[in-house]
Structure formats: structure tokens, C-alpha cells
Amino acid sequence: MVKDLILGTAGHIDHGKTSLVKALTGIDCDRLPEEKARGITIDLGFAHLNLNGMRIGIVDVPGHERFVKNMLAGATGFDLAMLVIASDDSVMPQTREHLEILKLLGIRHGLIALTKSDLADKETLELVELEIQELVAGTFLEGAPIVKTSVPQKMGIEEIKTRLGEIGALIESREEKAHFRMPIDRSFVVQGFGAVATGTVYSGQIQEGQEVELLPEGKILRVRSIQSHDAGVKECAKGQRCAVNLAGIDHHEIRRGQELVEPGYIIPSRVISVRLHCSKELKKPIKHRLPIRLHLGTSEIAGTISLLENDALAPGQWGMAQLFLESPATATWHQPFVLRNSSATVTLGGGHVVQPVARKIRRRHTHSLEMLNNLSRQEPEFRVKTAAWFSGYEGLKATNMPQVTGLEAGELEKIIPQMIQKGELAEVFKGSSKAKILDSELLAALEEKITKGLTAFHAANPLLSTHERGKVISQLDFVEDDGLVQETVEAMLKRKSLTGDQRRIGLASFKPKLTNNQRKLLEKIHLAHREGRFTPPAMDEFTAQAGGQVAQIKELFDICVLEGKLILVQDGLYLDYDVEAEMRKTVRGSLAGGKGMTVAELRDLLKTTRKYAVPFCEYLDKTEVTRREGDLRFLHS
């Protein structure tokens, strides 16, 4: 099986990076007329090399300080780096900055090419080697091969290839089951074919004919065809340079910094949480609220930094921070990034993404910082639990879990059920398209809020066993998902910690403070109204049964209304809840088509008397079932 790797060049301007790549591959990476005219690399160049069962895609980056942003765009997806240092110049400013960027991006493999070695004597070469060893001490290049080269003399070219083969053999093969991502570094149009986007496949694989999503715009596109290393292919996997011919878009709509991804996998965000390292090369600390430029993938986004632990981060220190960005970033958990200052002249530091989609976190909030640290840990269970905690009542969906946890679907399918069984997570809306995972502690807190809310309602109305469900739920407006609250109530009803139905709920443990006689009279009042239908009994008919206590009878009628058994039509006049609904339905049906109705006709329709028909008509007007025009009632428009 062929191993695909990406090699990136790095180093100061005019140290011979492009010439060395051409000597290795036969490909001239300077494609722009301005590059040809000025003799310097301005933008990214690409070449490829087949070597001992490996396909090595090479990204040649510009060395001039003005084009560091282009270098950063090209550095996405490097597996190994070749630091190029000229023998006649030795270590220069961009040598140091490029090495710092490679460190911040987490590059772990590489070698050093000492170019123009024919222009320096033996003593100079020895001195330069000492300076290089001092430069790379403590970095991934400490102890890496230093190969003396000269392109005109064809010196060291074969040794570079040998060393690349040795280093490439040490790099682990790629995991191909991940979701597809490809940050775009270039776009152009091919006559007769349309828009083409190029990049290094960052994860997963892409196939001819599949749909991809263009982020951050969220546009769904179809892959017409694919090329890799100048050859047509059916698919392209992580570690390969890829040119994708896209249907459904003009090439002017595609730009560096966008990404092609598997649809629905990544949610762009203007706020991300990061673990940040302040570069040791800086002369002063990074300060809170400092304007920055974020380099993530191939994108460059302006924003502001919020330090969460202190007011400043000293050179060489690590700290938690949030980045508030002017445009959305497409990131995944643990993705490396680099920060530069707002004028793009100084590399401030870098690190990795902890929360690719975040909300503002209160500074110096101990628990939030503790949870962020948990989220940056490698243990999968910690990350899943913490990601669920941060997602709050929005919860985690299967589609966005890989983005926020760094775990693929196969891993999550094993971990999630185990954590649910342990009681660490809870699944709601199971089996539906709304299914999501919540931190079980948050769900328990929601149940506690429902219980506390009902306790307060019961305290205010000690004679009522249930309360209007909508009023109880309205107290929980901190949960945006009303369906989640309803599902939680249903679960509590099923467990019998609550009692009630779709209209009214109460605590199962609450016992209304009614005497047996009061409870019997309450049921009698309700039954009499149900049987009386549209000729209900008057309130005073029950006074004698209450020992002549009018106030007690009024209170019992109020309880019937609050419990949803009766509807108040007019002072002293009530209808059974279901009978009132029947009246509305019957009147609407009779008035359909624009017909009008008198009080007498309504009396006959409901088989009642004028004593009740008049207040019924006024009630229907008040509740906007009907509208009155003279002596007639019509359906309310």
C-alpha cells in the first residue's frame, strides 16, 4: 500500500527552497509571472515525488517576511518539514520565525538542508552547523539530519531523498475512517470543466460524484472529478494533494481560507476556546483584549483575544483563552493554529483548539476553567462528558460530536452507551431526528427546577393537586428547547414523580388540603356541570351542602377552574371543560360559510334557554369565536 505524505519547505528568502524542490522533483514551483520576474517565491508552490513506495506531495512556501501568511496557509497538513538554510547566510529572521511556526503547528518530523554549500569553506560550514544545532535545540528538529547540498553541483540531492525515505518510514499510516476535510489554498477555472479548488486533504477521503459542503458559507456542491499529482483519480485521501472540479459554483466564489468538508460535520463559529502558548521569541507578553490574526487551516481571520486566567501571558507560558473573530472559523477539536499580531508582522504564539464552537466564558471562573482543562485532555470520556456539559440544554448531536470531541463515529458508538449506562450522560428524543446527548447532571438539574416550580405553585394554592402545565413550563425559559422540557415532564410522569396529563401537572407527593366532605362536594359540582351540559346548575344550589358557607363554595368552584374541570363563562355561570369545547365546535360548524345566527337560534342549537343563551353569546364574542353585527352573530375573522 502506498503511503501518502506532505512535505513542507521552510526558511528565509533566497535560501534556495524552490531550487532545491526543482532539483528533487523536476518541477518548478514558481508559477506566477511576478515570481519569475523577481526571482522570489510569493505564493505557495506545489510538486510531488515518488519515493520507495511513498507519494510525497511537496508544498513550497515563500520565505519573505511579507508573505508569512502565505507560508502559514501552506503549512496546513504537513507531515514533515524541510528547514532550508543557506551556507553563506546561516540562520536568519525568517529561519527562526518559520521554525517557530512549525513548532506551534505540531510538526514532529523533518530534516535540515544546508544549501549553497559550494559557496562556503569548511570552517564556515562547521560554524553554520553549530548555529543550526543551537537553533533547533529543544525542537522536533533536534538531532535531525543536516544535509549539505548544492543544486548547481547536484550535491546532496540523492542524500535528501534517502533521508526523506528513512523519515517517511517512521511516520504512522493514516486513519482513513475520519470525516473528510480539505482546507482550500487555491482556486481557478478550467475551460469546459468549471471551478477547481485545490488543497491538502486534512482528514478522511473524497470520492468522485459525492456531495461536499463549502464552509463557512454552508453551500452544498457536487464533485465532478478529482486530480492528484497531475493524474485523474476516483478518490483522494488524507495526506494527498487534491484538485477538485466542483459543480454548482463559479470559481470566483471559491477562495483560500474556505474548506470543503463532509456535509453537516462542522459548524463554523465566531467564538472558539483555545489552549495558547506564547512564543518564547516574543519580547513582551500577550495581553488580554489584544487584536490578533488567527491562522487556522488555510484561513486568516482578524479578531480579539480574551485571556481567561490572567491579564497577560508571558513568553514561553501556556494559558486558556477565547478568540472572538470577525468571521466564522471552521475548526475541530485539537486542531493546531498560529496567532500573529493585527498588522501581521509578528508571530505571537499558537496552540490547539479546545472548543471549536464556543460561547463566551466568564474570565477567572474556576469551574469553567477546570472543565476547559478537562476538554483539552486526551481521555475520550473526559472530552465527551465535558463537551456535553458545555453544550448545556442544546445537547450534542451525532453529527457534531466528532467536531467537538475529536472522536470518530465508531469510537463514539462504543463510548456513549457505556457512559449512559453509568449515568454520566442521558439521551433525549431517542430514535428521532432530534435525538441528542445531555450531561445527566444538567438533566437532573432541570427535573429539580420543575419540582421546585411546582412546589412554589402548590404553596401558593394549597387546595390544588395540579396546575396548568403551560404556566409551570413557562418558568423554565432558560431552556430554549421547549420540547426538551416537555419530554422531561413526560419522563417524570412515567416515573410517577409527577401526576397529571397534557393540560395539568402536579407533584405526586403533594396532597391537597381538602377534607373528605370538601373533596366529595368538589366531585359533585363537577359531575353536576357535566350532566347539566348547556343548562348548568347555579352556584347557590350547593351552598346548603357546604353548611351555608358561600365563601367555601366559591373556593371550590375556583379549584374546579384551576384544575381544568370547569370554565368560567360569567360570574356565577360555569361550563364543564369538554362541554365548553363542544359549544365552540358546534357554533363554528353552524356559522361556517358566512351564515349569521340570532340568540334564539343559538338557544335552539344548544338546546338551552334564553337565560343561558345570552351569556353564552357574550362569552363567544369575548373569546373571539363570534363577532356581533346588530342582532346576528358571525364567525370571527
pLDDT digits (tens, 9 = 90+) for 48-63: 888 877 888 888 876 5
Q: What is the mean pLDDT of the chain?
A: 88
211 Rama class: left (phi>0) / alpha (psi -120 to 50) / beta:
beta
Strand partners, 212: 221
Residue 256: which CATH number? Answer: 2.40.30.10
Tell me: do 256 and 294 sit in the same domain.
Answer: no
pLDDT at 40: 42
Sheet holding 504-507, edge to edge: 467-468, 504-507, 498-500
Tell me: do 93 and 132 sit in the same domain.
Answer: yes
pLDDT tens digits along 323-348: 999 999 999 999 999 999 998 888 89
Strand partners, 626: 635
Residue ending a domain, choose from 136, 170, 204? 170
* Residue 527, in any domain of the structure: yes
Tell me: do 280 and 305 sit in the same domain.
Answer: yes
Percent of the chain beyond pLDDT 90? Answer: 50
Domain hosting 65: range is 3-170
248's CB contacts (< 8 A; 6+ apart) are 219, 220, 221, 222
Percent of the chain beyond pLDDT 70? Answer: 95
Q: How confident is the model at residue 32 (pLDDT cuts 50, 70, 90)?
A: very low
Residue type at 534? F
CA distance 262 to 254: 17
- Considering the entire predicted model, what is its pTM? 0.77
pLDDT at 548: 62
* Residue 113, in any domain of the structure: yes
Tell me: do 466 and 601 sit in the same domain.
Answer: no
CA distance 55 to 174: 13
Whether residue 42 is predicted with pLDDT greater than 50 in this model: the reply is no
pLDDT at 36: 42
Q: How confident is the model at residue 18 (pLDDT cuts 50, 70, 90)?
A: confident
Tell me: do 202 and 158 sit in the same domain.
Answer: no
pLDDT at 237: 87
Of 142-146, 383-387, 427-431, 617-621, the range with the lowest mean pLDDT is 427-431
Q: How many beta carbons lie within 10 A of that of residue 494, not counting itself?
A: 9
For the chain, helix, strand, coil in percent to 5 are 35, 30, 35
Q: What are phi and psi of 527, to 5 degrees?
A: -65, -40
pLDDT tens digits along 246-300: 998 988 899 999 999 999 889 999 999 999 999 988 889 999 999 999 999 999 9
Residue 522: which CATH number? Answer: 1.10.10.10
Tell me: do 539 and 612 sit in the same domain.
Answer: yes
Whether residue 14 is predicted with pLDDT greater than 50 in this model: the reply is yes
Whether residue 30 is predicted with pLDDT greater than 80 in this model: the reply is no
* Residue 419, in any domain of the structure: no
C-alpha cell at 59: 508544498
* Residue 420, in any domain of the structure: no
pLDDT tens digits along 491-513: 999 999 998 888 889 999 987 77
C-alpha cell at 273: 476556546
Q: How confident is the model at residue 176 (pLDDT cuts 50, 70, 90)?
A: low
C-alpha cell at 421: 449506562
Whether residue 351 is predicted with pLDDT greater than 50 in this model: the reply is yes
Tell me: do 252 and 274 sit in the same domain.
Answer: no
Residue 490: which CATH number? Answer: 1.10.10
* Residue 393, in any domain of the structure: no
C-alpha cell at 570: 360569567
Q: What are phi and psi of 74, to 5 degrees?
A: -75, -25
Tell me: do 12 and 155 sit in the same domain.
Answer: yes
Nearest to 442 by CA among 490, 493, 476: 476
pLDDT tens digits along 560-585: 887 889 999 988 899 999 999 999 99
Alpha carbon 81 to chain centroid distance? 31
pLDDT at 46: 79
pLDDT at 33: 47
Whether residue 540 is predicted with pLDDT greater than 90 in this model: the reply is no
- Residue found by looking up cell 462504543 in the block: 414
* Residue 130, in any domain of the structure: yes
Of 145-159, 174-188, 325-339, the range with the lowest mean pLDDT is 174-188
Please state the domain count of the chain: 5
* Residue 376, in any domain of the structure: no
Tell me: do 20 and 93 sit in the same domain.
Answer: yes
Rg (CA), the chain: 36
Q: Residue 266 burial (CB < 10 Å; 0-12/13-18/19+)?
A: buried
Tell me: do 452 and 573 sit in the same domain.
Answer: no
Whether residue 626 is predicted with pLDDT greater than 60 in this model: the reply is yes
Residue type at 16? G
Tell me: do 274 and 362 sit in the same domain.
Answer: yes
Residue ending a domain, choose from 119, 146, 170? 170
Strand partners, 188: 196
Of 71-75, 249-253, 330-334, 547-551, the range with the lowest mean pLDDT is 547-551
CA distance 12 to 62: 8
**3-class state of residue 272 by DSSP:** strand
Whether residue 442 is predicted with pLDDT greater than 50 in this model: the reply is yes
Q: How confident is the model at residue 37 (pLDDT cuts 50, 70, 90)?
A: very low
Tell me: do 85 and 158 sit in the same domain.
Answer: yes
Residue ending a domain, choose from 308, 342, 369? 369
- Residue found by looking up cell 358561600 in the block: 550
* Residue 255, in any domain of the structure: yes
Q: How confident is the model at residue 68 (pLDDT cuts 50, 70, 90)?
A: low
pLDDT tens digits along 450-480: 999 999 988 888 777 888 888 899 888 888 8
Q: What are phi and psi of 475, to 5 degrees?
A: -75, -10
Is the Cα dihedral 622, 625, 627, 631 positive or negative? negative
Rounded mean pLDDT of 376-400?
Answer: 89
Residue 97: which CATH number? Answer: 3.40.50.300
- More confident site: 274 or 481: 274
Residue 293: DSSP 8-state: E
Nearest to 269 by CA among 224, 308, 325, 344: 325
Rounded mean pLDDT of 404-429?
Answer: 91
